Amino acid sequence: MNLKLTVTARGQGLYDITSKVAEVVQSSGVTDGLVTLFIRHTSASLLIQENADPAVLRDLQSWLCRLVREDDPLYTHTQEGPDDMPAHIKSALTTVNLSIPLIEGRLALGTWQGIYLWEHRHNRGHREIVVTVME
């Protein structure tokens, strides 16, 4: 079963989408199987990461922005703004899909794990994620 999830991103950063994914999965009626997530964009990504200490998310964001700078003179793809090519590189370095087991109707995430949309653009908007639930 394929379902769609739309997330609004207000700018660069990590957005916890765990509860939204869980709602979509629950609506499928499947209790045991596999959930896959796929983001349909080239300047954002998906991540499973710690959901207890917000400093982890801030450090990840800071580190990736330091690694992939917006002012690199090597970029030739610049017509969509200074954050566009870096966003593509960040997406290439991370991932656009995730797989999570579904056990007894619950995502089999660890105690401190959450699912995040990682927005790499400054001003974005709606991001679409395809959620596939398989028995």
**Based on the structure, what is the number of domains in the chain?**
1
CA dist., res. 37 & res. 130, Å (int): 6
- The amino acid occupying position 76 is T
For each of the chain's 135 residues, which pLDDT tens digit applies? 999 999 999 999 999 999 999 999 999 999 999 999 999 999 999 999 999 999 999 999 999 999 999 989 999 999 999 999 999 999 999 999 999 999 999 999 999 999 999 999 999 789 999 999 999
Report the CATH number at residue 111. Answer: 2.60.120.460
For residue 87, what are the domain limits? Answer: 2-134
Q: What is the mean pLDDT of the chain?
A: 97
Contact between 87 and 23 (Cβ < 8 Å): no
What is the Cα 33 distance to its own chain's centre?
A: 21
Q: Which residues contact 79 (CB under 8 A, 6 or more apart)?
A: none
